[in-house]
Amino acid sequence: MKHNIYYTYEIEHGDRHLFRWNETMRDAGMAEDNVMLDFNVDNLHEAIYLGLIRIPHLYRAHGIGEEIVNLLKLYAKDHHYSILLESAPENMQFWQKMHFSTFLYEDYGFWMMGYGAKNKQLFKVKWNQMKPLLCNDAC
């Protein structure tokens, strides 16, 4: 990328990809952390779970998040994968602008959104397949 944001890259369990900034970020409603990008690639279910995009404050509003999402969308399109994510209500406008659609409201207050499937039912199927695996990684 052309933005010269310093980061380190880690891979966990073979399918979870983490990009970390060199400083801790603080945002309302989120734990202090330095993770900028966190996603899982599930080759079995042909899906990507986008767990987090968090751009350092200094670099926000420069189109970096949009650029990252477009790269993930390109990968998904080239590999015939779907992208799934959880969105807080205040972020839904961004995701809709990026052509993600809602397919499920979780009772903890977040919307499940997807990109790349032929219909919303396929998003639900992929989410039900992936969710237990993601919980195992976090537990």
Give the pLDDT confidence of 29-84 residue by residue, as tens digits: 677 778 889 999 999 889 999 999 888 888 888 888 899 999 999 999 999 999 99
Q: Give the pLDDT mean for 89-96.
A: 92
Q: Report residue 139's pLDDT band, with 50, 70 and 90 as the boundaries.
A: very low
Domain boundaries, the chain: 8-138
Q: Class of 8-138 per CATH?
A: alpha beta
Whether the predicted pLDDT of 107 surpasses 60: yes
CA 10, distance to chain mean position in Å, is 16
85 and 49 in contact (C-beta within 8 Å)? yes
Q: What is the pTM of this model?
A: 0.85
Amino acid at 19: F
